[in-house]
Structure 1
Amino acid sequence: MDTASTMPARSAAPLVARLQEMRDLRTQDAAPATPPSPPSAPLLPAAAGLPFLGTVTGYQPGVQVAVERPLLPARDRYLSDHDFVQAPGMRNPNCYPVVPMTMSLEMMAEVAACLVPGLGVTGIEDVNAVRWIVAGDGGAAVLRVEAVIDLSSSTPDRYRIDARICADGDRQPSISARLLFGRRYPVAPPPLPPAEPPAGAAAPVLFDTASAYAQRLMFHGPSFQAMHGIARLGAEDVRGELVVRAPSTLFAGTEAPQLLLDPALLDGLGQLVALWSFHHHRQAAFPVGLGRLTLCGPTPPAGSVVPARAVIRGRQLKMLVADLEVGDGRGGTWLRIDGWRAWQFAWDARLLAFQRDPVRQLLSDAQDLPVPAAASSPSAAVQCRRIGAARVARFDAALLARHYLQPAELARFQALPAAPRRTAWLLGRVAAKDAARAWHLAQGGMALHPGDFAIDNDAHGQPHVTHWPDSPAPHLSIAHCGEEAVALAGATPVGIDLETVAVRDEACEQAVTTAAERELLGVRDGAVRAAWLTRLWCAKEAMGKRMGSGVVPGPRHFEAQALCADGSLRMWHAASGTGSIVTTLRSGEYMLAFDLGPRGAAAVRETKFGETKYGETKFRETKLGETKTKEPPCKESP
């Protein structure tokens, strides 16, 4: 730290006195350095005041101990402030409360302390977090915390204890570490050397840390909002302040929990690293381990504002490595971390924006309607959204589902086979919910969270909105193909389809088209014929979806009566006597078809395309595949 104070000698280092069973500190301070006497039974939670001591399932005095501790959101209140899925103003039942890595360190420290009564935590080494510890859906995640003394490297006044946490019966640990216990704190190391910015580096940026929480650059709730004041973000380091918060709100039923570490303050130190990562790389950064943590004194009193600093040591692949230190508020060093490791996530910018504000941000893109469709339908009446798998390629699909789905929808998602079907279904729901939200806003409604409502399917597979906050709900249509999904939302029934443009064989063409349609296709061949055959198929699908039946009993019951140069098709469904004008749009390798509403027989037969009805543009020439063909605006069946 920036201090000219003289570090205390080892003999003047404060006594470690964090465990409540130490009744007489003066006697303990004068006691000779002898190994602690292992109790016949481990400490009890009520006696020790340690919030993470649960049910002892195994105990060998002076050797090892195992404790099972359920995670209960009602008791472990800190979980609600470390929730990856949040919905402002509502309690999302699909919330994803994750145990912070620093809270896992506290768990292991408390259990390890049972083996060495009279000693306190002085450091932690070799922390390796391999998976998140998540509270279960509607139930408790049961954690098994194990601690074993390393007798080969322990001395009478310094013990090394290997600890790990396994969740819900998993044999592989979610996190492991080596904890150091002793009678006195070690001498504080010298301050971190100054960072050496690269030549030509920009001047440090001053950042108001309060805005990081307000703008949700950091997802942490009040209990973990430890950054304070202005942070100075340099090219290779960050300086800031942390506020020490009282732990009284972390646990229900425990007004004064006895913590061996300060998990919230440690988490705030990691947040400074994450803030640096976002500023310089636009990447989220989550801690996954550390090399060595050294405690140089007791935790500063609640309410203290202490200086903190992080020096970036390097980036390897997606791993960010830094050295960190926190002052004690009196010019000395409270804590030093060498080799803090954070994994950086290169998420899409739109995804980051959605996570920060899921109510006002849409994850998908607006899909423009073809000119004829756009001209015949006001923008407020129909909304179309589209999303590709690339948008969420680096994001966990199960976590994305929790952002968008209600519990019944989430259960359906989880029951689906693995990717790609599960991914395609989820992308369709994202597009549909975004379309519905955009439609509601265009109608003058309030912005909605995707979890405010649900989408179900009727017996014919037609999607429809449930749990809509007001009336009426929009009509929906969803399509997905390959790695793309698209959806329409409108005030009246709509239909949309999406398909890859490809050459189909004669058998496929015969199955999809009628003789009259093949007459319309005429002598077109190659890429041009492939494009128009795809338009035909998509138009039939879109019309069937808009009618709510799908292409039942078969695609040839939906017949195109005219193919128009602007990509529109005059469709007719003889069984219902319903006509429709379906517009299509070529987008890269995909073809999209839009059916925005029924048209009577006269309208379908009399509407002229390619004229000035849709503005001044005249559709005299069509570009399909690699050829150009001049033809009448619409070619009608005889």
Structure 2
Amino acid sequence: MLLHSALLRWWPVQLGQFVSKDWPIGPAEVLVRRIDIEEIAPESSNTISPTHGAALTAAENEVWQSLAPGSSRQHEWLLGRLALKDVVRAWAAERGQHLEPSDVEIHLGAEGAPFARCVALSGVGGSPVISLSHNSGVVVAAAAEPGSLVGIDIEYADRRTQVVERALTPTETNFVAAEAASVLDLLVAKEAATKALGVGLGGAVARWPVASVTALAEGLLVEVTSASDAGLVLPVLVLHPLDTVLGICYVAPDTDAA
């Protein structure tokens, strides 16, 4: 994927603004932003340079430099960091706080889930919880109030699901047979639910069974049973914007999902 030099040419000039766009979708409590890769990527690219440094902390720059120069992994890593920083900054702006990208530190938990640190947000209750997902064309990031659970996942609607279908539970197979949900709907819901708990699905499709599927005007409400917390059921709103399937899991602070 050749996109990075276009991003670097654009980013320093616009420092303090946003690479991503606001995406008003899903639960009102969840802020979502997206980066459409084709809108910032030309047909060709020059050698990557570190001129984006003002957007990253020193530690983040070290990680970026450690990745193979010009690799897809390096591109994806940077876009993911920018999307996460943007969604935290946008969340802060709604609370009257102006942040530069480098004010927001993005870290990974023990299971690889991202979390944000920002000293400037201590006065508004701390940094929001965050989640990230991407496919080959779009990067999406979500943020919600501290203490809540949030997870987001996006897939192209034409993704092949034959392998996943073989791992469905009998109940899930019935949902698909009754056309209450597609295999991809269920997979996206499980991915979003596991991200909300900071663990990730990791191929353990059957260990996170879907308990129910409810049709809504805007999409589906899919309830996913947690494999890591007995009795916990996580609600996921599954939507179908354009040619994608989007799942957003949100649980308010200090509430039980089930």
TM range (shorter): 0.7 to 0.9
Report which structure shows greater RCO (CA 8 Å, sep ≥6).
Answer: 2
Q: Output the CA distance in 2 between the equivalents of 1:575 and 1:393.
A: 40
Q: TM-score, normalised by structure 2?
A: 0.81
Amino acid at match of 1:384: V
Paired residue for 1:542?
192
Q: Output the CA distance in 1 between the equivalents of 2:196 and 2:117.
A: 18
Aligned to 1:581, the other structure's residue is in SS state: strand
Q: Output the CA distance in 2 between the equivalents of 1:505 and 1:535.
A: 10
Instruction: Indicate conservation of the 8 Å contact 2:15/2:55, yes or no.
Output: no
In structure 2, the CA distance between the partners of 1:400 and 1:552, relative to structure 1 (3 Å rule), is: same
Instruction: Indicate conservation of the 8 Å contact 2:12/2:51, yes or no.
Output: no
Instruction: Indicate conservation of the 8 Å contact 1:478/1:486, yes or no.
Output: yes
Instruction: Indicate conservation of the 8 Å contact 1:498/1:592, yes or no.
Output: yes
Paired residue for 1:520?
175
Matches within 5 A, 1:80-229: none
Residue 209 (structure 2) pairs with residue 555 (structure 1)? no
Matches within 5 A, 1:403-552: 403-417=54-68, 418-445=70-97, 447-471=98-122, 472-491=126-145, 492-502=148-158, 504=160, 506-511=162-167, 513-524=168-179, 532-551=182-201
Aligned to 1:478, the other structure's residue is in SS state: strand
Instruction: Indicate conservation of the 8 Å contact 1:480/1:498, yes or no.
Output: yes
Q: Output the CA distance in 1 between the equivalents of 2:195 and 2:257.
A: 19
In structure 2, the CA distance between the partners of 1:597 and 1:489, relative to structure 1 (3 Å rule), is: same
Residue 12 (structure 2) pairs with residue 358 (structure 1)? no
Q: Output the CA distance in 2 between the equivalents of 1:594 and 1:474.
A: 16
Please report the RMSD computed on the Cα atoms of aligned residues, expressed in angstroms. 2.7
Paired residue for 1:564?
214
Residue 221 (structure 2) pairs with residue 573 (structure 1)? no
Paired residue for 2:31?
383
Structure whose residues are more often helix by fraction: 2
Aligned to 2:155, the other structure's residue is in SS state: strand
Q: Cα offset for 1:419?
A: 2.7
C-alpha deviations, 1:110-131, integer Å up to 9, x for none? xxxxxxxxxxxxxxxxxxxxxx
Instruction: Indicate conservation of the 8 Å contact 2:106/2:117, yes or no.
Output: yes
Instruction: Indicate conservation of the 8 Å contact 2:150/2:249, yes or no.
Output: yes
The gaps in structure 2 that reach 5 residues or longer are: 1-5
Instruction: Indicate conservation of the 8 Å contact 2:92/2:121, yes or no.
Output: no
Q: Cα offset for 1:477?
A: 0.7
In structure 2, the CA distance between the partners of 1:541 and 1:407, relative to structure 1 (3 Å rule), is: same
In structure 2, the CA distance between the partners of 1:410 and 1:399, relative to structure 1 (3 Å rule), is: same
Amino acid at match of 1:473: S
C-alpha deviations, 1:74-100, integer Å up to 9, x for none? xxxxxxxxxxxxxxxxxxxxxxxxxxx
C-alpha deviations, 1:436-487, integer Å up to 9, x for none? 0000111222x11101221111220011123532311111111111131111
Q: Output the CA distance in 1 between the equivalents of 2:251 and 2:121.
A: 23
What is the percent sequence identity of the aligned residues?
28
Instruction: Indicate conservation of the 8 Å contact 1:427/1:484, yes or no.
Output: no
Residue 248 (structure 2) pairs with residue 594 (structure 1)? yes
C-alpha deviations, 1:374-413, integer Å up to 9, x for none? 3xx2xxxx32110022233147654464242112111212
In structure 2, the CA distance between the partners of 1:503 and 1:461, relative to structure 1 (3 Å rule), is: closer
Paired residue for 2:3?
none
C-alpha deviations, 1:335-382, integer Å up to 9, x for none? xxxxxxxxxxxx69xx85x644522x2110111223xx23xx2xxxx3
Q: Output the CA distance in 2 between the equivalents of 1:386 and 1:505.
A: 25
Q: Output the CA distance in 2 between the equivalents of 1:499 and 1:474.
A: 24
Q: Cα offset for 1:423?
A: 1.3
In structure 2, the CA distance between the partners of 1:571 and 1:465, relative to structure 1 (3 Å rule), is: same
Paired residue for 1:393?
41
Q: Cα offset for 1:600?
A: 4.1
Amino acid at match of 1:383: L
Q: Output the CA distance in 1 between the equivalents of 2:52 and 2:184.
A: 31
Instruction: Indicate conservation of the 8 Å contact 1:517/1:560, yes or no.
Output: yes
Aligned to 1:494, the other structure's residue is in SS state: strand
Q: TM-score, normalised by structure 1?
A: 0.35
In structure 2, the CA distance between the partners of 1:466 and 1:538, relative to structure 1 (3 Å rule), is: same
Number of residue pairs the alignment of both structures matches: 238
Amino acid at match of 2:160: R
Instruction: Indicate conservation of the 8 Å contact 1:383/1:488, yes or no.
Output: yes
Instruction: Indicate conservation of the 8 Å contact 2:116/2:127, yes or no.
Output: yes
Instruction: Indicate conservation of the 8 Å contact 1:388/1:483, yes or no.
Output: yes
Q: Output the CA distance in 1 between the equivalents of 2:110 and 2:201.
A: 14
Q: Output the CA distance in 2 between the equivalents of 1:384 and 1:570.
A: 21
The 10-residue stretch of structure 1 (550-559 or 482-491) with the greater mean CA deviation from structure 2: 550-559
Instruction: Indicate conservation of the 8 Å contact 1:367/1:384, yes or no.
Output: yes
Aligned to 2:190, the other structure's residue is in SS state: helix
The gaps in structure 1 that reach 5 residues or longer are: 1-346, 603-638
Aligned to 1:496, the other structure's residue is in SS state: strand
Q: Cα offset for 1:575?
A: 4.5
Q: Output the CA distance in 1 between the equivalents of 2:104 and 2:256.
A: 34
In structure 2, the CA distance between the partners of 1:587 and 1:424, relative to structure 1 (3 Å rule), is: farther
Q: Cα offset for 1:503?
A: 5.2
Choose 1 or 2 for highest CA Rg: 1
Instruction: Indicate conservation of the 8 Å contact 1:387/1:484, yes or no.
Output: yes
In structure 2, the CA distance between the partners of 1:398 and 1:475, relative to structure 1 (3 Å rule), is: farther
Amino acid at match of 1:546: A
Structure whose residues are more often strand by fraction: 1
In structure 2, the CA distance between the partners of 1:588 and 1:421, relative to structure 1 (3 Å rule), is: farther
Matches within 5 A, 1:10-89: none
Q: Output the CA distance in 1 between the equivalents of 2:99 and 2:119.
A: 10
The 10-residue stretch of structure 1 (496-505 or 408-417) with the greater mean CA deviation from structure 2: 496-505
